[in-house]
Amino acid sequence: MKDNNKLYLVVTILTLCLFISCNNKETTKPTRKNIENAVFASGHIEQENQYTVSASVDGILISIPVSEGDSITKNTNVANIKSDVQKNQVKDALVVYNNAVNNTASNSSTLQQIEVKIDQAKTQLVLDESNYERYKNLLEKNSVSQLEYEKAYLQYQASKNNLSGLKDNYKQAVKDLKVSETRSLVQVNTQKELLEDYQLKSSISGTVINVFKKQGELIRRGEAVAEIGSGEFIIKLFVAEDDIRKINLGQLVAVHVNTNTEETFSAEISKIYPGFNIQEQSYIVEAKFKQAPRKIFSGSQLQANIKTDNVTDVLVIPTEYLIKGNHVLLDNGEEKAIEIGHKNIDWTVVKSGVSENTKIVKPKK
């Protein structure tokens, strides 16, 4: 008898537990709401004109005359790289150029040597021409032989050709020396431009945001030395491939900046980049603050919700009540397939399958 009483007591307790468990299930009914749809994006703040000053040569940084926070103007010297070897290259190029300039001058030794030969050829031509005329007159008087006359004629022609050749040599020498002067000047300018690469300068006026290197460090070609920014602050957002088609210019953005976690700031989409950014593995859009933080810092990380559209008076259920993607659990234990529309972390739009009178059960985790 005692065993039967114990069994009855156990069954009663189990039945009571099951009844309590069943009564503790969470239920709700679809309701009508106005839903604001939004796309989530992460990003950061940067200035409108912001760029990195990078080295175009290898070397040792001998000085960095700027610091973070400095206001600088265009062509301000940001860093200096040791350039002794390149300075010598410029000096050598200048020596070659100056020599070329001297050779091009009318009193240069090269041109004077040709001029001396031209003067000698002119004198010789006068003599040979006079001798030729004399032999010509004598031949008419039969006082010299035809052979002697032809010999004088050939000598005269040779002198004329020699003078003409020397004049051509002079012109060609001047031309060649001018070409040499031009080429050496190009080399000087090239070496000077290479020397300028050892002085890193700002291409804009702005504020020094970051300095990445220290004096005495080795720097390689392409390495960043400093970051310069100017202009108003903009928001750069990274949008997933599935969401970029929903983004349009002028859409409102709710921004949560990590440096001002207690506030939400409003902004507006101002630019949509046309291409996929491989490095970020996302599409990039820009927004401008309509209401900016009192203190704002370049590089601040942020999260944003981009408002895409409003849906009014739609039937919704809590998203956490969905099972298997598009099913709900009815109060009688049946799983019911429904047609759903847009959903976010909180609400899912129901197009068909349940009504405002349908009681659904929250699935157990």
Instruction: Enumerate the domain spans of the chain.
Output: 83-197
Q: Higher confidence at residue 35 or residue 5?
A: 35
Work out the pLDDT band at 21, boundaries 50, 70, 90.
Answer: very low
The strand pair at 360-361 and 347-352 is best described as unpaired
Q: How confident is the model at residue 262 (pLDDT cuts 50, 70, 90)?
A: confident
Amino acid letter, residue 363: P
What does the angle CA 282 – CA 283 – CA 285 come to, to the nearest 5 degrees? Answer: 135
Residue with tokens 């307790």: 13
- First-to-last alpha carbon distance for the chain, in angstroms, is 43
Q: Tally Cβ neighbours within 10 Å of residue 362.
A: 15
Reply yes or no on whether the pLDDT at 223 is more than 70.
Answer: yes
Question: Is residue 237 predicted with pLDDT exceeding 60?
Answer: yes
**Span 78-96, pLDDT tens digits:** 999 999 999 999 999 999 9
Query: Residue 20 pLDDT > 50, yes or no?
Result: no
Sign of the torsion angle spanned by Cα atoms 174, 175, 180, 186: positive
Write phi, then psi, for 191 (nearest 5 degrees). -65, -35
The C-alpha atoms of residue 292 and residue 303 are separated, in whole angstroms, by 14
The two counts, helices (H) then strands (E), for the chain are 4, 18
Beta bridge partners of 77: 201
Between residues 219 and 347, which one has the greater pLDDT?
219
pLDDT at 18 over 90: no
pLDDT classification of 346: cutoffs 50, 70, 90: confident
Residues 228, 84 contacting (CB under 8 angstroms)? no
Is the pTM for the entire model greater than 0.85? no
Closest CA to 269 of 255, 286, 256, 282: 286
- Answer whether residue 224 shows pLDDT above 90: yes
Give 157's contacts (C-beta < 8 A, 6+ positions apart): none
Quick check: 322 and 290 in contact, CB under 8 A? Answer: no
pLDDT given at position 23: 53
pLDDT at 309: 78
d(CA 208, CA 12): 78
Residue 1's pLDDT band, with cuts at 50, 70 and 90, is very low
Give me the pLDDT at residue 347, please.
Answer: 83
